[in-house]
Chains A and B, each alone.
Chain A
Amino acid sequence: MAGTISMKRILASTCLLSALSAGHALAAECSISIGRVVPITGPLADVTKDTPWVDENKIKPINDAGGLKVGDELCKINYKIYDSKSTVAGSADAATQAILQDKVDFLIAQGTPDTTNAPSDLCERNKIPCVVTGVPIEAWLLGPDGKPKEYKYTFAFYFSVGDLVKNHLGMIKALPGGFNGKIGYLYPNDADGTVFAKIFDPVFKQEGWTPVDPGRFQQGLPDFSSLINQFKRNHVEVVTGVLAPPDMQNYLQQAAQAGFKPKMYIIDKGTGYPEPMAALGEAGYGLLSVNFWSPAYPGNSTYGGYDGQTLVDRYEEATGKPYVPPLGYDDASYDVLLSAIQRAGTKDRDAVLAALKTTKLDTVDGPIAFNSQNYSVQPLAGAQWRFDEATGKIVKETVFNEVYPSVKKTGEMKLYE
């Protein structure tokens, strides 16, 4: 495939570039090296499909103009992509390689807790300023007993589960035709499932609703029929959960076979990307989920000056593929880092760290400003998958924006059919 080949070529050339620059570290010339840890191979590779397009889009214009103005100097920016292999161990290797072998000045890590958390910890140990995104704030911040970790060198921005709760609660309350209070859970026993169940359960109970919780299950559960019977027996009207695409399809098929049709499905994770939804076919129309980034988000990129829509248009034109939501975050993570370096006026780590703390930046994800725990919560909105008869494709429409009214609505919420 053309995309893969060009990606490899760019990867190779950047490798070469940074190898050369590492070899000739001329003191006179200013250069900044940024390591970017992302899953290139393995099951999570979908999450960062926009790599390395997004890097080229951001860095090339700056380098073409002579470099980034840092203090009085123009600094060339070298980025290098490190493959996390979609595993925790792989992301630790990648970060170690970036820090110890290539001695990068800064690190960016993106895409699910499995990719971001090991680099975060390693940045703390090696005292490297690090920006992470693509990980819900709580999954990055909280330890197993719910206590927040203390990060000094790592900064995160993404949506928070707290906002997600508000969003889902609002969507259920806005259910057209009222709600009988019976809510079914589909939470697996993976990282997302356990965290979501822990956070959502008390909130739903507080609303006076009756949860029907079959319990945590392992991904790849062969049979959902006993769960579905439990939902049916208890007259569940709303089903909510976090399902990976294969589980989502398996569940929806078995629900259809059993003739179980709730008024509303709110399913996260599997609903994030267009391809698995297209694979679902009609069963996917009307599924509700969260929109954690879309071109409808407010704000402009500080480096490049474009808004979300322009970014998406450029991406789709260059690659011929539909955009993926992490695009906005990947773009903004460079903005955060570049702005901090510029404001520090040097690439000295302590100075950049201080500048990162006082970040106040407009990005395609909306404004970013880090709090005392080093994170910034970005907007989210409720979304629904629809079949667009005009184009014959499925689209994700923003149907609920009460939590962040700055994200524009593109349609009205409908019942699941």
Chain B
Amino acid sequence: MTTEDFYWALIDLANGLMTGATLGGYYALISVGLALTFGVMKLVNLSHGDWLIVAAYLAVVILGLYPVSPFWVLLPLVPMMFVIGYVLQRGLLNRVSTFAVERRGLSPIMAMMLPLLITFGISTVLSQALQLVFSTNAQTIRNDYSFSAIALSQDLSISTLRLGFLVLAAVLIGALALFIQRTHIGRAIRATSDDAEIAALMGMRTAHVYGVASGLSLMFAAFAGFMIGMSRSFQPFDGPPYLLTAFGVVVIGGLGSLGGCFLGGIVLGITQVLAGTYFGPAAQQLAGYLLILLVLAARPQGLFKR
């Protein structure tokens, strides 16, 4: 092994770990919303990926109307998505919640199926509607950061945006955890997720709590969609692959666990990049799938859930 080979072997390893970790922040942000709805409402939201894309398109539209620095777009975007999430839950999804389904005398299996089907329908409608409005053109949020990187050495650099999003993911997930622990509505969310029936008996307005949880979920989708738009181009039909990634992260971290999302994202990111480095790029996604299946097989409760 020559010195140059050794040098590159080190660079590969360092790059794999670093890029993988920052990719993990990106994955974490994509999946928090899904983990939240699952944790609180046992709702498997199949339209989650499409909401990310909706948020990205909304960001582009807002920036088209008011050409300011891209980060300002979060100011209207995040509350907007919260409202959409709240209204969606109260108006539509609450009608097929575990509660509602049981009230209507349907079997528990149906309680599982109805939200799946309805969110699948929403997913189709969203992507088709986006295509009708925006056509299939690839869009992106133009910014000065997407091409910049922090160079650590001549051959080792770290993407500014992705590093930023890793930090953002950590901060947001921390904030969400605090919110759930410290605030009144946060405690209500926790109580409802532990046992919705008892929470309802204790006078909590389950419909409202679910609405807030859904709103928070889409709020995170707004951050994630903004992030996708900043760092990639997107098209109306890009949602489902993000959904699959989000599922993977949630499984690795443990269904419904927020901190698990963060760590799960990082584990998935590092696995993918390292597999890509050593077994060729075709192995990148395959290694990700196998990791998730492995976790499902060996630790269905997730790697980071006690």
Contact = CB atoms under 8 A, between A and B. Distances in A.
Interface of A: 1, 4, 41-46, 49, 189, 214-218, 220-227, 229, 232-233, 245-246, 249-250, 252-254, 256-259, 273, 275-276, 279-281, 283
Contacts of B159: 253-254, 257
Nearest to A258: B157
Given A43-B235, A258-B149, A276-B233, A229 B155 contact: yes
B282 A46 contact: no
A283 B140 CA distance: 13
Interface in B117-159: 128, 131-133, 135-140, 142, 146-149, 151, 154-155, 157-159
Contacts of A229: 8, 11-12, 15, 155
B273 interface: yes
A246 B282 contact: no
A271 to B, nearest CB: 12
B8 A215 contact: no
Nearest to A274: B137
B284 A42 contact: no
A7 to B, nearest CB: 10
Interface residues of B, number: 49
B276 interface: yes
B12 A45 contact: no
Interface in B143-178: 146-149, 151, 154-155, 157-160
A258 B155 CA distance: 7
18 contacts: A42-B237, A43-B136, A43-B237, A45-B131, A214-B280, A216-B281, A217-B282, A218-B285, A221-B276, A223-B269, A225-B273, A227-B281, A249-B138, A249-B232, A250-B231, A257-B149, A258-B149, A279-B233
Contacts of B131: 41-42, 45
Given A46-B135, A253-B147, A257-B149, A222 B15 contact: no
Contact of B233 (A45, A226, A245, A257): A245
A222 B157 contact: no
A249 B233 contact: yes
A221 B281 contact: yes
Contacts of B276: 217, 221, 223, 226-227
A222 B233 contact: no
Given A225-B273, A246-B138, A257-B148, A217 B284 contact: yes
Nearest to B275: A226
B137 A46 contact: yes
Given A1-B133, A43-B237, A226-B15, A279 B282 contact: no
A226 B151 contact: no
B239 to A, nearest CB: 12
B238 interface: yes
Interface string B76-112: 0000000000000000000000000000000000000
Contacts of B67: none
B135 A233 contact: no
Contact of B136 (A46, A215, A258, A259): A46
A49 to B, nearest CB: 7
B234 interface: yes
B140 A249 contact: yes
Contacts of B232: 246, 249-250
Contacts of B241: 220
Contact of B135 (A49, A218, A254): A49
Please provide the 3 A-B residue pairs with the shortest distance between their CB atoms, ordered closest to farther. A257-B149, A217-B281, A215-B280
Contacts of B158: 257
Contact of A257 (B137, B157, B272): B157
Given A49-B135, A256-B149, 15 more contacts: A45-B131, A46-B137, A222-B284, A226-B16, A227-B281, A232-B155, A246-B235, A250-B231, A259-B149, A273-B137, A275-B137, A275-B138, A276-B137, A276-B138, A279-B233
B285 A44 contact: no
Contacts of B8: 229, 233
Nearest to A213: B280
A280 B141 CA distance: 10
